[in-house]
Chain A
């Protein structure tokens, strides 16, 4: 019997370059070799970044800009001088500002960059993007969520319905096709398998089992899509925590490569149910950026001369400040002063 070949024809495609390989079989070969053992992965953040984030890698980070973002890990990446990273600019704000200040990346998938939402725009991040030193492929936040989802599914693309007819499509790496069932148009989002991701969580055990409270943004898929995963956690808890209530596990152990205990690891960002963002200090970042000399000193003080995130916190109000931010988070701060 002669079968008519149903071929999905690419009608249009964006001119942006893909910085990661969407091939699902190649990803499977990688994941085939990844350890599934429930083994101790507890280490310092310094060691985790040294071991799993290399010059030239493609990096993604969890959270939403200044909410549950692994800020301590961003500092460590800058401190260790990582360069030429590919970076997933999926809803990034203060985290992006830090990595731009360290000039850590030279190719970038853009969802949302250079801004800090209602706080304003980062001068340093903007200058970095206007320098011509960063190769850019344009997407949207949801495009990147969908690309990460495709990778988490173990497939090479997913079809979605945004960006058609816009310059966002033109400068993307997406392809437009016609649905073989309905004749409707779709844009295909190529799977994004990061070399390494860092996700900050509320609770984790030494094996990488993790719990996230509050919004998850794209982190459940990101944990699954990433070849290597570094977990930074507010608290280390016992494995019994997960065994007693498996319903609440966000990330199972076999996805994680490293677990680092970093209390206040999102500071000066917001950690839902733990502490609110330090708006004064974030304002200081935005202000200081305007003067190159002052900003260099600011980075020296807050990143380069710090051994750990505790040093950074000590220099910015210490534990007293953290408790004020906790009161603000819980909205009990009206009488706290």
Chain B
């Protein structure tokens, strides 16, 4: 079996979710690597969009910023933020990848602050950026992150970006666009989705080398389990070769 690291299996798992002919709104780092890998494997007709305005670039390398000029390298259009977010709000953005300092059982994300005083936070993070926007509008929101109990908390202390909010039909009732929301959570240990009724996070597959106990122990809340839990398909030799040689030759992301 091929030898691979945590970042590599996460990126390969994420890339397989991006079906051919769909659209994805990405940030820098691993989401971008997943989108590039998808284009070079099963989804050559995947359209990549960046919040600052880049549409359908042929990315020559990993961008440093979602607004840098690599995001429009041989692109179809250099638009603006309203162009991208209005497209997403109209319902034409299929996927997005987001992250945060904390994620909870309903997939809500905190990337704003730690501490209760909003005007004088203990730790200040960047805030939403375009995350709440993509997370509100994209049909399927995914998260790629290393898993530990500090990050996977029962309730995030601040909801920057909506997951399924309080679970059940709370997101639909909030007024956010219907039938859009968190889809898959891809970690170094497992892949999770959300139980359709309660909208609680549940394990659907476990990565080779980890046990169910590892996954549960490294989560700050009770994870549900799918009726059948499988082993996550490991990266193929071909996926690893493309990822290492063509997508991220300088190991900017996969070297982390």
Using a CB–CB cutoff of 8 Å, the interface residues on chain A facing chain B are 63-67, 89, 91, 93, 110-115, 117-119, 121, 126, 129-132, 134-136, 138-143, 145-146, 149, 160-168, 171, 176, 184-187, 213-221, 270, 272-273, 276-277, 279, 329, 331
Tell which of A114, A164, A215 touches B67, judged by Cβ atoms closer than 8 Å.
Answer: A215
- Stretch in contact with the other chain, from B71-79, B205-213, B225-233: B71-79
Q: Is the CB of B85 within 8 A of A168?
A: no
| Chain B positions 115-148 with a Cβ under 8 Å from a chain A Cβ | 117-133, 136-137
Q: How far does the Cβ of A116 sit from chain B's closest Cβ, in whole Å?
A: 8
Tell which of A126, A140, A184, A221 touches B132, judged by Cβ atoms closer than 8 Å.
Answer: A140
Q: Is the CB of A118 within 8 A of B65?
A: yes
Do A67 and B161 contact each other (CB < 8 Å), given the known contacts A118-B28, A167-B112, A218-B80? Answer: no
Q: Is the CB of B72 within 8 A of A272?
A: yes
Report the nearest A residue to B118, measured CB to CB: A171
Do A276 and B69 contact each other (CB < 8 Å), given the known contacts A121-B126, A217-B81? Answer: yes
Contacts of B80 in A (CB 8 A): 145, 215-220
Q: Is the CB of B126 within 8 A of A215?
A: no
- Stretch in contact with the other chain, from B3-11, B16-24, B51-59, B182-190: B51-59
Q: Is B48 in the interface zone, CB < 8 Å from A?
A: no
Q: How far does the Cβ of A149 sit from chain B's closest Cβ, in whole Å?
A: 6
Which 7 residue pairs spanning A and B have beta carbons closest together? Answer: A185-B175, A64-B67, A215-B53, A165-B174, A112-B129, A132-B120, A162-B136
Contacts of B89 in A (CB 8 A): 160-162
Q: Is B204 in the interface zone, CB < 8 Å from A?
A: no
Q: How far does the Cβ of B105 sit from chain A's closest Cβ, in whole Å?
A: 16
Q: Is the CB of A118 within 8 A of B130?
A: no
Q: How far is the CA of A143 from the CA of B128 in the complex (A)?
A: 10
Of the A-B pairs whose beta carbons lie under 8 Å apart in the complex, a sample of 17, sorted by A's number, is A132-B117, A138-B128, A141-B129, A142-B85, A142-B130, A143-B133, A145-B85, A160-B89, A165-B175, A165-B176, A186-B175, A214-B78, A217-B52, A218-B80, A270-B65, A272-B69, A331-B73
Report the nearest B residue to A171, measured CB to CB: B118
Q: How far is the CA of A293 from the CA of B161 in the complex (A)?
A: 38
Main secondary structure of the interface of B (DSSP, over half): loop
Q: How far is the CA of A171 from the CA of B53 in the complex (A)?
A: 27
Report the nearest B residue to A165, measured CB to CB: B174
Contacts of A171 in B (CB 8 A): 118
Q: How far does the Cβ of B60 sit from chain A's closest Cβ, in whole Å?
A: 6
Q: Is the CB of A115 within 8 A of B53?
A: no
Q: Is the CB of B130 within 8 A of A214?
A: no
Q: How far is the CA of A186 from the CA of B89 in the complex (A)?
A: 12
**A-B contact sample (14 more), CB < 8 A, given A91-B130, A119-B64:** A64-B65, A65-B65, A65-B67, A111-B129, A112-B129, A113-B127, A117-B64, A132-B117, A142-B132, A145-B81, A164-B176, A165-B159, A214-B78, A218-B80
**Residue among B63, B69, B72, B118 facing the most chain A CB atoms (10 A cut-off):** B69
Q: How far is the CA of A130 from the CA of B117 in the complex (A)?
A: 10
Q: How far is the CA of A278 from the CA of B79 in the complex (A)?
A: 24
Q: How far does the Cβ of B161 sit from chain A's closest Cβ, in whole Å?
A: 7
Q: Is B170 in the interface zone, CB < 8 Å from A?
A: yes
Contacts of A161 in B (CB 8 A): 89, 136-137, 175-177
Q: Is B217 in the interface zone, CB < 8 Å from A?
A: no
Contacts of B122 in A (CB 8 A): 130
Q: How far is the CA of A140 from the CA of B176 in the complex (A)?
A: 15
Report the nearest B residue to A160, measured CB to CB: B89
Contacts of B125 in A (CB 8 A): 114-115, 121
Q: How far is the CA of A213 from the CA of B53 in the complex (A)?
A: 12
Q: How far is the CA of A204 from the CA of B72 in the complex (A)?
A: 23
Report the nearest A residue to B108, measured CB to CB: A166
Q: How far is the CA of A240 from the CA of B20 in the complex (A)?
A: 46
Do A91 and B81 contact each other (CB < 8 Å), given the known contacts A65-B67, A162-B132, A165-B175? Answer: yes
Tell which of A67, A111, A220 touches B65, judged by Cβ atoms closer than 8 Å.
Answer: A67
Contacts of A220 in B (CB 8 A): 80
Report the nearest A residue to B60, measured CB to CB: A331
Q: Is the CB of A67 within 8 A of B124?
A: no
Do A111 and B127 contact each other (CB < 8 Å), given the known contacts A140-B132, A276-B69? Answer: yes
Q: Is the CB of A136 within 8 A of B119?
A: yes
Do A164 and B175 contact each other (CB < 8 Å), given the known contacts A115-B126, A141-B51, A217-B67? Answer: yes
Q: Is the CB of A67 within 8 A of B132?
A: no
